[in-house]
Structure 1
C-alpha cells in the first residue's frame, strides 16, 4: 500500500511540473482515449475471440471458467491493436471539440502555434508507442501461447509436451552428379513431420535429392535427434529409392541413422505464428531460415521483425494525423463521426501496410523499406495536414 502511495505521489508531483497548457490538453485527451481503447477492444475481442469461445462452450463443452481464462489471456493481443486506433480517435475527438468551442482559436490569438498545441498529443502518442511495444514484445507472445495451450488441453486436442505441428523443413546444398562427380547447387532435402512431442518427431517423411537423378523417399513412424551419433534416428519405417533408369528399390527398417542437421528440431521449437514471437525469437528464426537456405521464410521473418517496431509507431502516426485533422479551424466532430472517420483512416493505413508487407515478403522491396514505407508516407501526410491546420 505504501509503495502505491509513493508511486501515486511521484506521479502527481511530475504532473504538476508540466506546463498548464499541456496539463489542460492532456486532461482533454485522456477521457476519449480510455473510451476508444475500451470501444475498439470490445469490438475486436467480440469478433475475434468471444463468438468462437461461446460456440466452443455450446458445441464442444468447453468449461465457462476456461473460456474466461482464455479470453483474458487473449486480451493483450487485442489491446495492442486497439492502442494505435484509440490514439487516433482520442486526438481527433479532443481537438475537434476544442476547435468547435473556439478554444484553439483563443490560443492562436495569444500566439500559441498549432505545433505547440498538438505537442501534448504527440507526447501521449510516444508514450502509447512505448506501451504498445512492451505489450507486443513481452506480454502478447507469452499470453497467446498460454491461451492456445489451455484451450487445446481443455478440448483434448493437445498434450502438455506438444511443441509443434506440421513441421516443414527444406535444406539447400550440393547435389552430386555420380557420373561426372560434379557438384550442383539446389534443394537437397525436404523434411515433414506431423508433430513434434517429447523431443520426438512423429509421422516423418524425408525426400532426398542429394544425388542427381536419384530420389530417395524415407517414411518413418518416429524420429529423434541422436546426440551420440550426431544423426537423426528413424524408427519403424521404409525407404524407397528411385533411380534414373526408372528402377526402384524398397527396404524396411526398425532403426535407421540418417545424416541430416538439427534444422527440423529448431524449426519445430519456433512459435508457428510470428505474432507469438518476441523480437529476439524472430531474429533467431530469420537467422535459422537463412542458414538452411529457406530464402522466402527468412525474408518474411525479416519483414515481421521490422513490423514489430512499425506497429507501435502507428500510435505516433495516428496521433499526428488525428490532432492535425482535429485542430483545423471550425472543425466539429461528434463521437460517432469521430469513430467512423477513425475506422476509415485506420482501414486506409492498414491496407497500405498490408500491401507493402506483401511486397517485402515477395522480395520486391527490402524488408526495412516494406515495413517502414507506410509509416513514412503516413507521417508525410500528417505533416501536410498539420501545415493546413497551421494556416
Structure 2
C-alpha cells in the first residue's frame, strides 16, 4: 500500500531530521576546527609582527574569523551530513524498510529537506547579524596590519561621480550631509559621448539642492578658450551622499543596507554589477543548503550489499562539489559583468535543483 502523505510518520521524520542535523553540526565543527587552525598558523606571524600584540589579539582574530569560516563550511557540512546520514540508513537496511512500507524516495528525504530549510534560515540570519559585522571589523583591522584601527577622519580622496552626462572628480571630500565640501573639483562637461568643456574649481560647497563652485576655470574644448568666474551655481539635484559613499563590499553589509547602497551608487553613475550579484547571492547561498539532501540522496538508494554504496556516496559528493564550483564560477562571471546579476546568483541553484530532481526520479524508477 502506497503512503500518500508527503512526510513519513512523525517519529520517523523526527528521527531522520535529528540524525541529519547532528551529523551536519558535527561535520561543521570538525571542518571549522581544522580550517581555523590552518588559518591561524598562517596569520599568527602577521599578528605578532605588530609591536604589543599578544594572546589577546590572537583570540580576537579567532573571534572575528570564526563566523566567516562557519558561514563558508555550512553548505559543505550539510552535504557531508546528508551523505553520512543516508549511507548509514542504507547500510542498516532502514531505507529498504521504508520503501517496503510504501514510502517514495521524495518522502524518505522530506524530513531532511525540512531540516535543511531550518538550517538555511539560521544561516541567513547568522550572515546578516554576525558575519557582516565580523567581516567589516576584520577587514579594517587587516588594513591596519593588525595594529590600532585609525579613527575615521571623514575625508575621502579621489571620488568619481556621474551627474547626468557629466563626469565629476572630487580629489577630496570632507564632512557629510549638508556640510559636505568638495576640494579640487574637476567637471568634464559632456554632451552624449563628446567632451564640451572642462571645469576646475578649488572648492565647492552645498547650496540649496545644488552646489556653489568657487574660483571656476572653464576650458572650452571646441574653441580652445579659457574663461574664469568667481562663483558658479552647478549640480542641481546632485546629492552629497553620492560623494560620501564609502567603498562598498557585499560581504560587509546586510541585505537592506547593501540594497540601499547599490541604489545610491547607481544614482552616482558607478558600476554595481558585482554588488548586485553579491546581493542576490546573500539569498541563493543559504538556500543552497536545501539542495544538499537532494544531491546527496543518491547515497540512500540501491542495495548496500551490492558493493556500490561507496560509489553512490562518491557520486553524491561529486554532485555537491560540482555545484560549489559552478556557483563560484557564476558569481565570478557576475562580478566581471559577463553574467547578469540574477543569472549569476540563481542559475547554478536552479540548474542543480533540476539535476538533483532528475537523479532522484531516475533512482526511484
TM-score by length of 1: 0.73
1:215 to 191, 198, 201: 198
| Aligned residue number for residue 113 of structure 2 | 122
CA distance in 2, matches of 1:135, 1:100: 35
Corresponding position of 1:34: 25
Q: Is the 8 A contact 1:66 1:151 kept in 2?
A: no
Question: For residues 53-89 of structure 1, what are the alpha-carbon distances to aligned partners after superposition, in whole Å with 9 as ceiling and x for unaligned?
Answer: 3022332233331231132123222212211111111
What corresponds to 1:11 in structure 2?
none
Rate the CA distance shift 1:53–1:361 in 2: closer, same or farther, 3 A: closer
Q: Secondary structure at the match of 2:169?
A: strand
CA RMSD of aligned residues (A): 3.9
Distance 2:267 2:60 in 1: 39
1:174-213 pair list within 5 angstroms: 186=165, 188-191=166-169, 193=171, 206-210=185-189, 212-213=195-196
What secondary structure is seen at the aligned counterpart in 1 of 2:162? strand
Counterpart position of 1:305: 279
Residues 340 and 81 (structure 1), Cα distance of their counterparts in 2 relative to 1, 3 Å cut:
farther
Q: 1:267 to 1:249 in 2, by over 3 A?
A: closer
Distance 1:379 1:86 in 2: 18
Give the deviation of 1:355 after TM superposition.
3.5
Quote the Cα distance in structure 2 between the aligned partners of 1:339 and 1:149: 41
Deviation at 1:208, TM superposition (A): 1.5
Q: For residue 214 of structure 1, give the secondary structure of its aligned residue in structure 2.
A: strand
* Contact 1:359–1:365 (8 Å) recurs in 2: yes
Q: Distance in 2 between matches of 1:55 and 1:259?
A: 52
State the distance in 2 between where 1:376 and 1:158 align: 42
Q: Deviations over 1:336-362 (max 9, x none)?
A: x969974x5454223322333345455
Count residues with an aligned counterpart.
346
Mark the CA change 1:127 to 1:242 in structure 2 (over 3 Å): closer, same or farther: same
Shift of 1:41: 2.4
SS at match of 1:210: strand
- Unaligned stretches of 5+ residues in structure 1: 1-17, 174-185
Q: How does 1:73-222 map to 2 (within 5 A)?
A: 73-150=64-141, 155-156=146-147, 158-162=149-153, 168-173=159-164, 186=165, 188-191=166-169, 193=171, 206-210=185-189, 212-217=195-200
Match of 1:385 among 351, 359, 362: 359
Change (3 A) 1:207 1:316: same
1:281 to 257, 268, 277: 257
Map 1:301-380 to 2 at 5 A. 301-330=275-304, 331-333=308-310, 342=317, 344-361=318-335, 365-380=339-354
- Check the 8 A contact 2:47/2:57 in 1, yes or no: no
Q: 1:275 to 1:32 in 2, by over 3 A?
A: same
Residue 215 to residue 287, structure 1, CA distance change in 2 (3 Å): same
Per the TM alignment, residue 141 of structure 1 is displaced from its structure 2 partner at its CA by 1.5
SS at match of 2:189: coil
Q: Shift in Å at residue 169 of structure 1?
A: 2.7
CA distance in structure 1 between the aligned counterparts of 2:21 and 2:232, rounded to whole angstroms: 64
Aligned counterpart, 1:60: 50
Deviation at 1:314, TM superposition (A): 0.7
How far the C-alpha of 1:284 sits from its partner, in A, is 0.8
> Which of 74-83 and 162-171 deviates more?
162-171
Q: 1:328 to 1:377 in 2, by over 3 A?
A: farther
What are the ranges of 5 or more consecutive residues in structure 2 without an aligned counterpart? 1-8
Alpha-carbon shift at residue 263 of structure 1 (Å):
5.2
Q: Aligned partners of 1:138 and 1:201: how far apart in 2? A: 31
Q: Classify the secondary structure of the residue corresponding to 1:160.
A: coil
Which deviates more from structure 2 when the two are superposed, residues 121-130 or residues 199-208?
A: 199-208
Structure 1 residue 146: Cα displacement: 3.0
- SS of the residue aligned with 1:159? coil
